[in-house]
Amino acid sequence: MKQVVIFIAPPGAGKGTQSDILAKRMGFLHLETSQIIEEKFAKASLDDEDINKEKENFRTGKLVTPEKVTAWVIEKIRGLAEQGTSIVFSGSFRTLYEASQEIPVVEELYGREHIKIFYITLSEEESVRRNAGRRICKANRHPILADFSGDVCPHDGSELIKRSLDTPEVIRRRYQEYLDRTEPVLAFLKEQKYPIIEVNGVQGVEQLSHDIHQNFKAN
């Protein structure tokens, strides 16, 4: 049975880590919006002024134009659905526009009854604390928490790198962008009669994973 899981959460709440855990445990594909964006940036011409402007927005913590991101994400969703792949999203839906355009496509391809939406809560100060110290691995972008002291990824052995997005100044801007542009998505989804499963992002990785997985035990 194909399924879709959507995590809506501020920066640092653990949506990437929990998406990795769920993907490994249940055989989903972790679809990370920022990775789709970065892949499109990497393939674009260096003299593409439009893309260069979007790159600057992304680098400074602002959201890439929703219309562009939506087209890229929908393209990816359709390809995965054709392959019969279940998806766990981290980073979608980021704006009301994206939600209004993407959720009908997800419903069409996977069915409303096979969609679960989680809202992970986290304060701004905790978001800054977590993100300022985290890294990702170069090979597969596994998120590595700030309290990990090693130099290589414990999952695949690749180099750990620090993202330019993960500085206190940029994180605060990203958090405000989340409040202004992503949190309203929750109200929209409730209006569409989607149940929102709220979980506490302050707790540790294992307990948060446990609370999320409880919602799949009846399936």
Does any domain span residue 155?
no
pLDDT band, very low/low/confident/very high, at 12 (cuts 50, 70, 90): confident
C-alpha–C-alpha distance, residues 153 and 4, integer Å: 27
Q: Give 155-172 pLDDT, tens digit per residue.
A: 999 999 887 777 888 889
Domain residue limits at 106:
4-123+183-216
Token code pair at residue 7: 């995590």
C-alpha–C-alpha distance, residues 180 and 137, integer Å: 30
Q: What pLDDT, on a 0 to 100 scale, did the predictor assign at position 154?
A: 92
Q: What is the C-alpha radius of gyration for the chain, rounded to an integer number of angstroms? A: 17
CATH of the domain at 201: 3.40.50.300
Does any domain span residue 60?
yes
Q: What pLDDT, on a 0 to 100 scale, did the predictor assign at position 54?
A: 81
More confident residue, 143 or 7: 7
Contact 30, 23 (CB under 8 A): yes
User: CA angle, corner 135, sides to 52 and 69, nearest 5?
Assistant: 35
pLDDT band, very low/low/confident/very high, at 218 (cuts 50, 70, 90): low
> What is this structure's pTM?
0.78
- As a whole number, mean pLDDT of residues 121-136 equals 87
Q: In 32-95, which ranges are continuous DSSP H helix?
A: 33-43, 49-59, 66-82
Q: Give 177-211 pLDDT, tens digit per residue.
A: 899 989 999 999 999 999 999 999 999 899 999 99
Q: Give 14-71 pLDDT, tens digit per residue.
A: 898 999 999 999 999 999 888 888 888 888 778 877 788 888 777 777 777 888 889 8
Choose among 122, 62, 72: nearest CA to 92. Answer: 72
Q: Give 132-149 pLDDT, tens digit per residue.
A: 777 888 888 888 877 788
Determine how many CB atoms are found less than 10 A away from the CB of residue 42. 7
Q: Give 57-107 pLDDT, tens digit per residue.
A: 777 777 778 888 898 899 999 999 999 999 999 877 888 999 999 999 999
Does any domain span residue 67?
yes
Cα distances from 101 to residues 88, 159, 173, in angstroms, run 18, 37, 25
Laid out side by side, the sheet with 196-200 consists of: 29-32, 87-90, 4-8, 115-121, 196-200
Q: What pLDDT, on a 0 to 100 scale, did the predictor assign at position 87?
A: 97
Structurally, the chain folds into a number of domains equal to 1
Does any domain span residue 112?
yes
What share of the chain in percent tops pLDDT 70? 98
Mean pLDDT computed over every residue of the chain? 89
More confident residue, 11 or 6: 6
Token code pair at residue 139: 């090979």
